[in-house]
Amino acid sequence: MLKIIISVLFLFPLCFISNIYWMVQMFLFLFSFIFILMNMYTNYFMSISYLFGCDLISYGLILLSLWIISLMLMASESVFKNNNYVELFLLNIILLLILLVLTFSSMSLFMFYLFFEGSLIPTLFLILGWGYQPERLQAGVYLLFYTLLVSLPMLVGIFYLLKFFGTLNFYLMNNYLFNYEFLYFSMIMAFLVKMPMFMVHLWLPKAHVEAPVSGSMILAGIMLKLGGYGLLRVFPFLQMMGLKFNYIWISISLVGGVLVSLICLRQSDLKALIAYSSVAHMGIVLAGLMTLSYMGLCGSYSLMIAHGLCSSGLFCLANISYERMGSRSLLINKGLLNFMPSMSLWWFLLSSGNMAAPPTLNLLGEISLINSIVSWSWLTMLMLSLLSFFSAAYTLYLYSYSQHGKVFSGVYSFSMGSIREYLLLFLHWFPLNLLILKSDMCLLWL
Q: What pLDDT is attached to residue 446?
A: 63
Residue 258 and residue 386 in contact, taking contact as beta carbons nearer than 8 Å = yes
Q: What pLDDT is attached to residue 340?
A: 85
186: amino acid identity, one letter: S
Look at the alpha carbons of 202, 63, 300, 178 in this order and tell me if their dihedral is positive or negative: negative
Whether a cis peptide bond, with omega within 30° of 0, leads into 153 is no
Q: What pLDDT is attached to residue 43?
A: 79
Ordered per-residue pLDDT tens for the chain, 446 residues: 888 899 999 999 988 888 889 999 999 999 999 999 987 777 788 888 888 999 899 999 999 999 999 999 999 989 999 988 999 999 999 999 999 999 999 999 999 999 999 999 999 999 999 988 888 999 999 999 999 999 999 999 999 999 999 999 988 888 888 999 999 999 999 999 999 999 999 999 999 999 999 999 999 999 999 999 999 999 999 999 999 999 999 999 999 999 999 999 999 999 999 999 999 999 999 999 999 999 999 999 999 999 999 999 999 999 999 988 888 999 888 888 888 888 999 999 999 999 999 999 999 999 999 999 999 999 999 999 999 999 999 999 999 999 998 887 777 666 777 899 999 999 999 999 999 998 888 888 76
Q: What pLDDT is attached to residue 423?
A: 95
Nearest to 60 by CA among 35, 91, 92, 97: 35
Q: What pLDDT is attached to residue 171?
A: 85
Helix ranges (H only) for 291-418 are 294-325, 336-339, 341-354, 361-376, 381-403
Q: What pLDDT is attached to residue 336?
A: 87
Residue 282 and residue 305 in contact, taking contact as beta carbons nearer than 8 Å = no
Structural domain of 44: 1-443
Our count of domains for the chain comes to: 1
